[in-house]
Amino acid sequence: MAGSVGKAQFNEYLKPTLMFILLGHLPVVLAVTFIPDLALFLPRLLMDIQ
């Protein structure tokens, strides 16, 4: 949708989008998935659970 609004070709924004997903989102998803304390820090803090 944004590509058509900005009149950009698919090839122009495909590489930056994939790099953002691979270097930005994927490490965070993997870290939160495999290190549960990262995902549970805030709920534990708010609920005062040790």
pLDDT value for 24: 92
Q: Please tell me the distance from the alpha carbon of residue 29 to that of residue 4, in angstroms, as a whole number.
A: 29
Residue type, 47: M
pLDDT value for 28: 92
pLDDT value for 35: 95
pLDDT value for 50: 65
Q: Please tell me the distance from the alpha carbon of residue 39 to that of residue 28, in angstroms, as a whole number.
A: 10
The pLDDT tens digits for 1-50 are: 777 888 888 888 889 889 999 999 999 999 999 999 999 999 999 998 76
